Copies of this chain bind each other. A is one copy, B any other.
């Protein structure tokens, strides 16, 4: 198509904003999950099996152009941020 570099970059910026919005919604869900785990008396939030399950579904959903390895690397960073979110929340709870 005849779109300019600038136009394509604007579209990337719009997609970035949508990604941030989805990440925030995902963060809220993870925080809810963390509260359930806490209320059940658990303090272990890291769940490698659940992460592996998610990665399997993510690879199934991926139709490119990113490789499965690239998408997995991005999701591992999302998992890491999510775990930080759950653990920080738990840490705050333990300190009060």
Residues of chain A whose beta carbon lies under 8 Å from any beta carbon of chain B: 1, 3-5, 8-9, 11-13, 15-33, 36-37, 50, 54, 57-58, 61-67, 70-71, 73-75, 77-78, 80-81, 84-85
Contact = CB atoms under 8 A, between A and B. Distances in A.
Contacts of A25: 15
Counting every copy of the chain, the complex holds 2
Given A20-B61, A32-B8, A77-B77, A27 B66 contact: yes
Given A8-B36, A74-B77, A77-B77, A22 B19 contact: yes
A40 B58 CA distance: 35
A4 B58 CA distance: 22
Mostly, the A contact residues are: helix
